[in-house]
Amino acid sequence: MKKNFASKWIALVMALTLVLSLTTPRSHAAQSCTVTFSDPTVTVGNNVTINVKVTGAVAIATVKVNYDSSYLQFISGDLGYGYQSGNVIVMDKENMGTGNVSFSMTFKTLKAGKTTINNYENSIVDGNGDPMNVTPGWSTVTINAQPTASSNNNLSSLSISPGSLSPSFSAGTTSYRASVSNSTTSVAVSAKAADSKAKVAVWGNTGLDVGNNTVTVQVTAENGSKKTYTITVNRAEGSGGGNTGGNTGGNTGGNTGGGTNTPDPEDTPEPSPTATPVPDVMVTLPDDVQLPIADQLPEGVTIPKGFEQSQVEVEGQTFPAIVYEEGKLTAVYLEGDEEHEAGFYFFNTKTQEAWEMVQVPMASGKLVLVNLPEDLAIPTGYSSTMMELGGQQHTLLTPDGVEEPNHYIVCALDEAGTMGLYLYDVEQKSFQRYQFLELPQEEEPEETEEPQQDGFVFSIFRWQIQTPWGDQVVSYVLVGLTLLGVILLVAVVVLAVCLARSRRALREEWMYQEEQRQRQIIAGPNAADLSLDDILAKYKDQTPEQEEPQDKPEDSDQESDQT
């Protein structure tokens, strides 16, 4: 009997161990995915397709984008369960399992230029239904002008003042000469393009040195082809005077005795050969205007705070530049034109694109908007996207899940040259400091951090139960409650077994007492010397057959009284 009781306890302990092993929680870190877009190039008037791919173990993906309807007109696309509304497109698909998800959008191009399709919001979950960490993207669509655009890059007229060209102007002649006096330090150039849609740029016509100077006239046709005219302007040296004299004979009115001594004629010196001018390196602004990079900084130019003077190499030439925080921001000095002022412009050395240092007012001064640093830790609840602010495209942070946010988070430089994050209020159009941002000076090894836990998974046999609690303490409290419930269940089972055993023992004790009582009733005072068989035999001899039951309580009481 003791062996059976011990085996039951061993079985209970083994069952409890199994339950605890099956309910041990394990952490479940959020998975990541990336949204990428194609960057097509197309001719204006044609259709263009942008492919979108969500890479990762994706179960359901919802991707939202907006676009500039002045450049693009939506036609169709593989949007899944999504839709198009105004300049917003919602793409939505569900996988049978998990894996990559692809979409596509087809647009008609309306005008030439560059435009961006912004990915401003995403809602993507994995196979467990948990939100994934999303790295958004965007698409840059380059729309070229029609090939039928004019390629006429000729001049219809060209002249300078003071001075005259040699040879006379002809549209097919690109090299000319001219001479000016020593007192002339600049010439006015009148250049008219043969095509009204072509653009003319002139440089090198001021600050003339003594000797040969090169004045460049560049004509850019409608289709982008360029033609360069050069004028070699020779500025004369300072005058040294001549000997005028001779003897004046006789009185006034007589013959002139000696006349004027005329020096021997000398050969006119031929100008020294001039090296072929190096064409200026042009950079493209967001409005497709091209401006040349200055080969030297103007005297007295002010370098913005936070920047240091440096150099940058473009198309094999070296130009002065300024950099911020070891090259994370680069700016060059551009020569201006009628619509753009000369000054420092942010510069992308890979694409040779430049954009203006846009200053926006703030309560305590002015800010210069810049793109978000690549190593910026994006705050929770925000996503990075590209949008227009201050007249130019910038990367900024938008709140998740809001179609028309009332604020954005931007990155900017203050007047002291310090970079930081600022909150832009859409309604009030004002900026407020959001959070100070320090860029790392040197890369230092960081301690490996445990992945962020978004919940705990309880594994029972082949089923996995995901808890909605992300706090580890709460999850282990649940485990403790589960353990307490198992212990209480075991206690109830043990108590039931003990009660059953006690009941059985009480029943046996009652049966034994009842047997003794019956023995006394039947056998009388000598019952102790009789066995059970003797008592039964005697009982049968003394008791005749009766119709009524023999063990009525009343008869037993009377017989007991008689005894």
Alpha carbon distances (Å) from 431 to 271, 363, 380, 394: 61, 8, 20, 15
pLDDT over threshold 90, residue 282: no
Q: Average pLDDT over the chain, rounded to whole?
A: 77
User: Between helices 2-22 and 472-523, what is the axis angle to 10°?
Assistant: 160
Distance CA(131)–CA(61), nearest Å, equals 10
pLDDT over threshold 60, residue 454: no
pLDDT over threshold 60, residue 449: no
- Indicate the pLDDT class of residue 471, thresholds 50, 70 and 90: low
- Indicate the pLDDT class of residue 136, thresholds 50, 70 and 90: very high
Better-scored residue on pLDDT, 351 or 468: 351
Task: Give 37-58 pLDDT, tens digit per residue.
Answer: 999 999 888 999 999 999 999 9
> Tell me, which fold does domain 32-144 have in CATH?
Immunoglobulin-like (2.60.40)
Better-scored residue on pLDDT, 318 or 374: 318
**Averaged pLDDT, 353-357:** 83
Q: Out of 86-90, 424-428, 495-499, which region has the weakest mean confidence (pLDDT)?
A: 424-428
pLDDT of residue 256: 40
Phi/psi at 477 (5° precision) = -65, -40
pLDDT over threshold 90, residue 178: yes
Verify cis geometry, omega within 30 degrees of 0, for the bond prior to 445: no
How many CB atoms sit inside 10 A of residue 293's CB? 23
pLDDT over threshold 50, residue 155: yes
Better-scored residue on pLDDT, 283 or 60: 60
pLDDT over threshold 70, residue 447: no
**Averaged pLDDT, 401-408:** 82
DSSP symbol at 80: B
Q: Which two tokens stand for residue 321?
A: 């530049």
Distance CA(155)–CA(176), nearest Å, equals 14
pLDDT over threshold 60, residue 550: no
Q: Do the Cβ atoms of 29 and 457 come closer than 8 Å?
A: no
Q: Out of 29-38, 145-154, 265-274, 532-541, which region has the weakest mean confidence (pLDDT)?
A: 265-274
| Amino acid at site 99 | G
DSSP symbol at 22: H
pLDDT of residue 142: 93
pLDDT of residue 17: 62
pLDDT of residue 260: 43
Pairing mode of beta strands 32-37, 133-135: parallel
Residue-wise DSSP of 84-140 = EETTEEEEEEEEEEEEEEEEEEEEEE-SSEEEEEEEEEEEEE-TTSPBPEEE--EEE
pLDDT over threshold 60, residue 456: no
Task: Give 185-207 pLDDT, tens digit per residue.
Answer: 899 999 999 998 888 888 888 88
Q: Which residues pair with 77 in a beta bridge?
A: 105
pLDDT over threshold 80, residue 268: no
Q: ∠ CA(467), CA(468), CA(469), 5° rounding?
A: 90
- Indicate the pLDDT class of residue 7, thresholds 50, 70 and 90: low
Q: Out of 131-140, 324-333, 432-441, which region has the weakest mean confidence (pLDDT)?
A: 432-441
Give the three-class secondary structure for 6: helix
pLDDT of residue 501: 86
Q: Which two tokens stand for residue 242?
A: 């001549």
- Indicate the pLDDT class of residue 104, thresholds 50, 70 and 90: very high
The residue among 323, 208, 337, 212 whose CA lies nearest residue 282 is: 337
**Averaged pLDDT, 258-267:** 44
- Given the candidates 2.20.25, 3.10.450, 2.60.40, 3.40.50, the CATH classification of the domain at 155-235 is 2.60.40
Q: Do the Cβ atoms of 114 and 143 come closer than 8 Å?
A: yes
Q: Do the Cβ atoms of 107 and 74 come closer than 8 Å?
A: yes
Q: Which residues contact 67 (CB under 8 A, 6 or more apart)?
A: 74, 87, 89, 107, 115, 116, 117, 118
Alpha carbon distances (Å) from 55 to 31, 35, 49, 98, 230: 11, 7, 19, 10, 54
pLDDT over threshold 60, residue 450: no
pLDDT over threshold 90, residue 419: no
Considering the chain, what percentage of its residues have pLDDT values greater than 90? 24
How crowded is the C-beta side of 55, counted as CA atoms within 13 Å?
8
Q: Do the Cβ atoms of 397 and 434 come closer than 8 Å?
A: no
Distance CA(297)–CA(527), nearest Å, equals 135
pLDDT of residue 29: 67
pTM of the model: 0.34
Distance CA(481)–CA(23), nearest Å, equals 12
Distance CA(563)–CA(259), nearest Å, equals 196
Domain with CATH 2.60.40.680 in the chain: 32-144
Q: Out of 179-188, 293-302, 409-418, 551-560, which region has the weakest mean confidence (pLDDT)?
A: 551-560
Residue-wise DSSP of 195-248 = STTSEEEEES-SSPPSEEEEEEEEEE-TTS-EEEEEEEEEEPPPP---------
- Indicate the pLDDT class of residue 115, thresholds 50, 70 and 90: very high
DSSP symbol at 373: P
Q: Which two tokens stand for residue 1?
A: 């009997």
pLDDT of residue 468: 59
How many CB atoms sit inside 10 A of residue 155's CB? 21
Distance CA(231)–CA(162), nearest Å, equals 13
